[in-house]
């Protein structure tokens, strides 16, 4: 079968399409014929060698959507022909991928495989950040940085679905429009306004209950100024090897929580819980995935160049 691969670390040019063996199913796994896979920023970290892969040649990517074509032993809830989406699927950019049944979720009939692949890591990260880590409650106020990105858009939708008041940040009018379309109550353009000052105005000086931050090292001090007493700050996708200075006194004075999230290390029970909730939201059309740009398998190099350029809002997708 064909798959995107690389034999060494490097820039996007190391990616190529080559032949590889069909996966052997383990107990509790299903074989999926992949319709589309998703490219995430973390995939570029592995390709560069910032994070190590187990062996070469390596098949990249973790997000996929496709059709179940074979069942392993002890599979009870899926059937051949089921359409699913999944994340944490190793080597998602192959024609066939083995996926744990517990981490495969129903893809509603009205969604394409491209949309399904756009759901996975973005919505799982957003859901786990808001509910597993921050325990977001109805009527709380949440600040979401980078709300036009894939995770940001997912977080805005999920927070609104939960009954929160959502303040989002964006860097220009086009990105602000994307955040508003996702459901944000207010968008702050951080190039034109001071986020801290504007948030204090919007909350009558009372502050924010929950903050989702994509770059905590840059915003931590301001975040602690705008968080309520007992508030929660979740750090998502901060730059690799970046070690921000932690203002302990301010953190303690606010009785605040600084929380991390890494999808790869979240326990399976929480992943399953989040995945089921997301699928229900997709089925009812309360949630929707945003596809940024679609590439073919042969265009993997271009797909990685595009995500590193950070010029596309929404998820970068590989169509199989």
Q: What pLDDT, on the 0 to 100 scale, is given for residue 228?
A: 98
> Does the pLDDT at position 70 exceed 80?
yes
% residues pLDDT > 70 (the chain): 98
Percent of the chain with pLDDT strictly greater than 90: 87
Q: What is the mean pLDDT of residues 109-118?
A: 97
d(CA 14, CA 43): 13
> What structural domains and CATH numbers belong to the chain?
2-111+289-319 (3.90.180.10), 122-264 (3.90.180.10)
133 Cβ neighbours under 8 A, 6+ residues apart? 232, 234, 259, 260, 261
Structure tokens at 204: 């009558």
Give pLDDT tens digits for 79-113. Answer: 999 999 998 888 999 999 999 999 999 999 999 99
The 10s digit of each residue's pLDDT in 160-210 is: 999 999 999 999 999 999 999 999 999 999 999 999 999 999 999 999 999
User: What is the reported pTM?
Assistant: 0.93
């Amino acid at each position: 079968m064909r798959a995107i691969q690389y034999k060494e670390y490097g820039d996007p040019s190391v990616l190529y399409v080559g032949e590889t063996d069909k996966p052997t199913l383990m107990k509790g796994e299903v074989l999926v014929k992949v319709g589309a896979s998703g490219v995430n920023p973390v995939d570029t970290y592995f390709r560069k060698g910032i994070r190590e892969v187990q062996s070469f040649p390596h098949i990249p990517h973790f997000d996929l959507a496709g059709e179940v074509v074979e069942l392993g032993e002890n599979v009870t809830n899926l059937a051949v022909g089921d359409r699913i989406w999944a994340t944490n699927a190793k080597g998602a950019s192959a024609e066939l991928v083995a996926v744990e049944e517990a981490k495969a979720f129903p893809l509603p009939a009205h969604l394409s495989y491209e949309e399904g692949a756009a759901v996975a890591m973005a919505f799982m990260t957003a859901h786990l950040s808001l509910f597993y880590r921050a325990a977001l409650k109805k009527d709380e106020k949440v600040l979401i940085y980078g709300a036009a990105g894939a995770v940001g858009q997912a977080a805005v939708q999920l927070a609104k679905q939960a009954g929160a008041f959502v303040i989002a940040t964006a860097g220009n009018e086009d990105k602000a429009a994307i955040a508003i379309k996702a459901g944000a109550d207010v968008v702050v353009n951080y190039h034109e306004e001071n986020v801290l000052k504007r948030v204090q105005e919007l909350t009558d000086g009372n502050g924010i209950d929950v903050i989702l931050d994509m770059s905590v090292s840059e915003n931590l001090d301001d975040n602690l100024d705008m968080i309520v007493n007992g508030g929660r700050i979740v750090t998502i996708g901060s730059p690799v090897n970046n070690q921000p200075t932690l203002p302990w006194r301010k953190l303690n004075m606010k009785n605040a929580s600084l929380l991390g999230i890494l999808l790869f290390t979240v326990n399976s029970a929480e992943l399953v819980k989040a995945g089921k909730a997301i699928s229900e939201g997709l089925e009812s059309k309360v949630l929707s995935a945003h596809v940024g740009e679609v590439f073919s398998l042969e265009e993997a190099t271009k797909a990685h160049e595009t995500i590193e350029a950070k010029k596309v809002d929404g998820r970068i997708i590989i169509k199989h």
